[in-house]
């Protein structure tokens, strides 16, 4: 079992470029989440997906889009990257009644 896998681990973008952060889980979990973490800050929820086919906004959704491609995969897209989106991005998943399982993060720098 790989758990929650995030790709890439590191990425550098120029302002205005687009990219998609990938997240996949092999635990058959229903719910998946995307968080961002800025230096010295806690985790802030960007988007989440309660189940396959549904997505909802979290605290800080502006500038992002998501796709729940199937039960395993939940991707986060930056259409036009901005320096304010420089952050560490964490994906997580959980089944009914159980704790969150986190990936190891994607470290994104926008110059």
Q: Which positions lie near another protein, rule CB under 8 A?
A: 4, 29-31, 33, 35, 37, 41-45, 48, 50-51, 54, 56, 58-59, 88, 90, 92, 94-105, 107
CB of 111: closest distance to another protein in angstroms?
Answer: 20
CB of 20: closest distance to another protein in angstroms?
Answer: 19
- Nearest residue (CB) to another protein, 56 versus 79: 56
Q: Which of 55, 56, 53, 43 is nearest to 91 (CA)?
A: 43
- Close Cβ partners of 75 (under 8 Å, ≥ 6 residues apart): 20, 21, 22, 23, 66, 67, 69
CA dist., res. 89 & res. 61, Å (int): 13
- Nearest residue (CB) to another protein, 19 versus 45: 45
């Amino acid at each position: 079992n790989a758990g929650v896998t995030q790709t890439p681990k590191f990425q550098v973008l120029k302002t205005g470029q687009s990219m998609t952060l990938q997240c996949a889980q092999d635990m058959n979990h229903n719910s998946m989440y995307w968080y961002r973490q800025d230096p010295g800050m806690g985790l802030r929820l960007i988007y989440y997906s309660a189940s396959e086919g549904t997505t909802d906004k979290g605290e800080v959704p502006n500038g992002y889009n998501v796709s729940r491609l199937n039960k395993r995969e939940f991707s986060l897209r930056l259409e036009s990257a901005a320096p304010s989106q420089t952050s560490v991005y964490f994906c997580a998943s959980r089944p009914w009644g159980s704790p969150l399982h986190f990936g190891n993060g994607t470290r994104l720098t926008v110059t």
